[in-house]
Amino acid sequence: MTLTETTLTLLQDLIKNGCVNDLTADSGQEVRNADTLEAFFAGSGVRVERYEPHPGRVSVAFTVEGDGGEPLTLLGHTDVVPVDEAKWTRDPFGAEIDGGRLYGRGATDMLYITAAMAACVRDVALSGARPSGDLTFVACADEEARGGLGAKWLAEHASFSWANCLSEEGGSHLPVSSDALVVVVGEKGAAQRRLTVHGDAGHGSTPHGRDLAVSRIAEVARRVAGVAPLRADDLWHDYVKAWKFDPETEAALLSGSGYSAFGELEQYSHAMSHLTVAPTVLRAGGAINVLPSTAWLELDIRPLPGQTQEEVDEVLVEALGDLADSVEITHLICEDGTVSPTSGPLFDAICATFDEFFPGVPVVPTIAAGGSDLRFARRSGGVGYGFALHGRSETLGSVLGQLHSHDESVALEDVDLTARAYRSLIRRFLGA
């Protein structure tokens, strides 16, 4: 089979295994995809290292040993998010091909990349060519739950290199007349908060004159939602410039207004340039005839690289104003954002590979609004980039729209392009 055919067959097998991570320790059962991948690499001569920090939550590293030069590590996760089967028009785990697309949970996030990585690394192993540095493909468990039983655990216990890493998601196109290809160089962090308020308890039939916790938490939610100002760094400036807007629109965007000009990428573009504060969980009371004395609100807050947890608290306190003294702020999951340089051997290899497939198309570095396993590479002192490759019809917006969606799918053209792009980049970076 060709590289693309091999990738496609493996992708279908990975989807059919249905390794659904519902954020509980016993879910995922990535052991199924780990076993599939071990069978895929059987007889190839790679070094295999299997890790199981919790029963069924298996990650596996497959390494083609090199000659001591710069290593390259490909991080592909094997878990997928849950599905609402009633909203799907196809079997979420059927891996059905129709109309030039392959359908299934995880098709885009990120099993098509995982399959391409595996196919390319096996090809190098079977070729007998020795790369200049170690080439490792890691099938990571638990990415969808922030990697506690996957990449986070591996960063603390595994022996492979984190110096130069690739993972999801890149290589889609900006919807501009001159075209532009996206490479993900960083991602936002986490600054989750719980805001708690207290009020008067009492019978629901006599609310007059009482300090109502529910009313207070509603006002807290109103004040903190969407409060952060624009942070206009070089990445934001270059991203806006790449769209080639008219001068008036460009000036407005560079100063933090007019985001509707981005169309389907309005929300993403706003997130790329702001600390985002999203009220997501609200709790108060239990009985309909009792005034609750406590209410709390949880916030999914995503800081940009360089923004500290202290800055997040300052933003919240300022937004709360005269309510600040009556609101308890509790830190939940906190992780700083991470970013890699837009220069260096791996970044240059990405740009050269893009130019091979789409000559003359500019490359635009971006920040991911969500998280990926690449943050563990950056925290370990390495560099990490999101890398794949899509056809011209697949914009950044259309690819992001597939993530965690009903009837998730990936274009067969993108499976082919991504597999061939990984093979090309491996040759360029490792000489294999």
* Tokens, residue 416: 């082919």
| Average pLDDT of the segment spanning 410-429 | 97
Mean residue pLDDT across the chain: 94
The span from the CA of 173 to the CA of 182, in Å, is 6
> Tokens 């903190």, residue?
224
Give catalytic residue positions: 79, 143
**Distance, CA of 15 to CA of 5 (rounded, Å):** 16
Give pLDDT, residue 176: 76
User: What is the per-residue pLDDT across 232-290, written as a single tens digit (0 to 9) for each?
Assistant: 889 999 999 999 999 999 999 998 889 999 998 999 999 999 999 999 999 999 999 99
Residue 230 has a pLDDT of 87
Q: What percent of the chain has pLDDT over 90?
A: 89
What is the Cα–Cα distance from 271 to 268, expressed in whole angstroms? Answer: 5
User: Could you give all domains of the chain from N- to C-terminal order, each with its CATH number?
Assistant: 3-185+338-430 (3.40.630.10), 188-335 (3.30.70.360)
Strand partners, 209: none
pLDDT in tens, 361-406: 999 999 998 889 999 999 999 999 999 999 988 888 878 877 788 9
What is the per-residue pLDDT for 226? 75
Q: pLDDT at position 177, please?
A: 64
Mean pLDDT calculated for residue range 310-330? 96
* Rg from Cα positions in the chain: 23
Q: Rounded to an integer, what distance in angstroms lies between the CA atom of residue 114 and that of residue 276?
A: 29
- Per-residue pLDDT, 312: 96
The answer to whether the Cα torsion of 310, 232, 190, 225 is positive or negative is positive
Give yes or no for residue 229 having a pLDDT over 80: yes
Question: What letter does residue 261 receive in the DSSP assignment?
Answer: G
pLDDT at 16 over 70: yes
CB 429 within 8 A of CB 351: no
Q: Using alpha carbons, select from 336, 341, 333 the residue that is nearest to residue 311.
A: 336
User: Shortest CA distance to 110 belongs to which of 422, 417, 427, 415?
Assistant: 415
Report the distance separating Cα 209 and Cα 349, nearest Å.
67
pLDDT value of position 178 = 63
| pLDDT tens digits, one per residue of 66-95 | 999 999 999 999 999 999 999 999 999 999
Q: If we measure between CA atoms, which residue out of 14, 8, 16, 54 comes closest to residue 34?
A: 14
Q: Which ranges in 42-166 belong to alpha helices (H)?
A: 112-127, 151-157
Q: pLDDT by residue (tens digit) across 89-104?
A: 999 999 999 999 999 9
Q: pTM for the whole thing?
A: 0.92
What CA–CA distance (Å, rounded) separates 118 from 224?
A: 44
Predicted pLDDT of residue 369: 87
